[in-house]
Amino acid sequence: MHIVTLGLNHQTAPVAIRERLAFTAEELPEVLRRLKDEAGLSEALILSTCNRVEVYGISATLDECHKRLLKFLADYHQIDAKDFAENLYFHTDSAAISHGFRVASSLDSMVVGEPQILGQFKDAFAIASEELSTGLILNRFLHRSFFIAKEVRTQTKIASYAVSVSFAAVELAKKIFGDLNDMKVMLIGAGEMCELAARHFINQGVEQVLVTNRTLSRAQQLANEFSGIALPFDKFRGQLDQVDIILSSTGSPEYLIGPEELSQALKKRRNRPIFLIDIAVPRDIDPKVNELDNIYLYDVDDLQDVVTENLDQRRQEAELAEKLVAKEVEKFEQWLASLAVTPTIKKLREQVLEIADQELKKTLAGLTDLSNKDEQRLKAMVNAIANKFLHHPISYLKSQDDSAETIPATTIRKIFKLDKNDVR
């Protein structure tokens, strides 16, 4: 049996192609049932996210598997296979195992170390498992995928470095204030970057979010999402002394905050520090405010420098993670090999003991004057000979590896004619 993976991701296909091949969670049960039948898979799972669409399966043969999977995707989505075939990758056996482990561990993600993919993989497994689409091999494969993902996260710092501008802002705030509990944040602007940063701040325990925007209704909408307070745009400067962190991202052609406003705010705050993040281009905050004591201003370039440095750190941690994955792949391959060896060992033992028993019966049939004690001794001797004969072949099979000198279990079956279609 072979583990196979056919798919495409953000590295091999643009979003225009990925979205045409995507599956919704609602349609997956039916898709999995059809997939096993039409692609000839004994087990199957589909992982479909905004960045990837992948089919994981167990196939008895590789000869037609790729073609049948390609045809299934084309038929199901009613797309000409020529439109996406060159965007696909097809992994088998150890390469498929390694790919799955790397995906679960976020080593194959657009942002290395992001945690979302593991949850998405678990959701895909839950659907496949509920549909009885997975079995012995994929169940083990997925559980080991989740295990190595946890190992990577706990034994490396792959997720410890901020690699988005909005999250970098939060990390810098933590360095300045330490604990962000009881902190108050003001958002100047209600765009996507401000919203994302606000979510990060909320997750870190800030007490309150104030939102101002030229369009008050938009400020109110965003403030409601965080149980915050909306401020009219012409009134926010009067509240600067009330906040510890200010994040600004507007389209203003001129500075919205300068040294004078912040100097007044610091006096009211008795010089308690204020952290300002200016991610607007052109900038919203006059860089001269950095000349004030207890003012910490970072613009988008400063944050990008942090992100770049952190990406380098994540890449270093990813190298450690890759080694963990490689070890787990080796262990899983050994387990797979044992699946092939165990039936062979069982069949070999049954055949040798059956031959020994048949020969013993023939011998005993001609020895009518043997005592019961002698007959038992003869049986024990025959069994001992059979077991000693089996000892080295079985030990050898159990210690199989991928070296060139290893005789595969299939060869052992042929040598001893263990299969029914072998002629004795």
The β-bridge relationship of strands 184-188 and 89-92 is unpaired
User: Would you call 194 a catalytic residue per the annotation?
Assistant: no
CB 176 within 8 A of CB 298: no
Tokens for 267, please give them.
Answer: 């006096």
Tokens for 323, please give them.
Answer: 């080694």
Please state, in angstroms and rounded to a whole number, the distance separating the CA atoms of residues 182 and 369: 97
Only one residue has tokens 């052609």, namely 253
Say which of 50, 132, 380, 384 is annotated catalytic: 50
CB neighbours of residue 215 within 10 Å: 10
Burial of 399 (0-12, 13-18, 19+ CB in 10 A): exposed
| 136 to 3, 240, 337: CA distances (angstroms) | 12, 61, 14
Q: Which residues are identified as catalytic?
A: 50
